Amino acid sequence: MFSMDFFEENGDFKKELKKKPITKTMRDFFLNQNSSKMYVSFDLGMSSDEEIITALQTMLPDLRKEYEIEPVKTEKIGLAKIRKLVDYNIIPMMDLLIWAKFKK
């Protein structure tokens, strides 16, 4: 799995690797420095849903800060936006426009 570059002559991991968290080592090895992917493992048989969710909620801010990854800003669609779509008849208008485009 690891190349020989990761080991000393006696077979031990190099000092730089011993000082790094395993998540960072795996991330650097399998991906690259600029990747935002993170691999996490949970024992589903030994943890409740609430424990897993709480652990992730606790870990995420620290992991984002450590790896300097900004969260993606997503726009949430709330009840007010849905009401506007209905009030302004956007969906029927989109339906007619799409139908007209494909009818040609």
pLDDT digits (tens, 9 = 90+) for 30-89: 666 566 777 777 888 998 999 999 989 998 898 888 778 888 888 888 999 999 999 999
DSSP codes of every residue in 37-82 = -------TTTS-HHHHHHHHHHHHHHHHHHHT-PPPP-----HHHH
Q: Say if CB 50 and CB 58 are below 8 A apart.
A: no
What is the pLDDT, as a whole number, of residue 62?
A: 87
Q: Is the pTM of this model over 0.85?
A: no
